[in-house]
């Protein structure tokens, strides 16, 4: 059975590019839902709680679409990496979290790992 993802032609390459775009958006949405989770104060505030649930669901849906084309291990690691790094950066820039040198070095290492996973992926 042929799917829109089968074959080696332009449609397959476009599908892979789209999968990477969906994965990046899903990772950015992970940052949003993590921040809304904090803002929900243990699900006691309705608006941030609803926002958390909506962005969580959308992030998962996009991740599930991306792993149709991408290796699940690579995609999941990149998704969580984008979420972790993005949330840490937002925390440092806007929420007053610490910016000590070990934390910054660790974030650079995470970013290096994300880039390395992307560069070594054959998709």
> What length does the chain have?
123
**Global confidence as pTM:** 0.85
Q: How many CB atoms lie within 10 A of CB 82?
A: 22
H-helix or E-strand spanning residue 23: helix 10-39
Per DSSP, the three-state class of 122 is: coil
Q: Tell me the pLDDT of the chain (123 aa) as tens digits.
A: 344 445 556 668 889 999 999 999 999 999 999 999 999 999 999 999 999 999 999 999 999 999 999 999 999 999 999 999 999 999 999 999 999 999 999 999 999 999 999 888 877
């Amino acid at each position: 059975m042929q799917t829109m993802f089968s074959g080696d032609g332009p449609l397959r390459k476009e599908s892979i590019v789209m999968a990477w775009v969906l994965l990046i958006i899903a990772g950015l949405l992970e940052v949003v839902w993590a921040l809304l989770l904090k803002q929900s104060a243990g699900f006691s505030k309705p608006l941030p709680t609803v926002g958390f649930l909506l962005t969580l669901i959308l992030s998962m849906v996009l991740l599930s679409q991306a792993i149709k084309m991408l290796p699940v291990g690579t995609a999941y690691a990149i998704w969580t990496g984008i979420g972790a790094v993005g949330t840490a950066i937002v925390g440092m820039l806007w929420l007053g979290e610490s910016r000590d040198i070990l934390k910054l070095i660790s974030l650079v290492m995470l970013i290096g790992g994300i880039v390395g996973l992307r560069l070594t992926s054959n998709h």
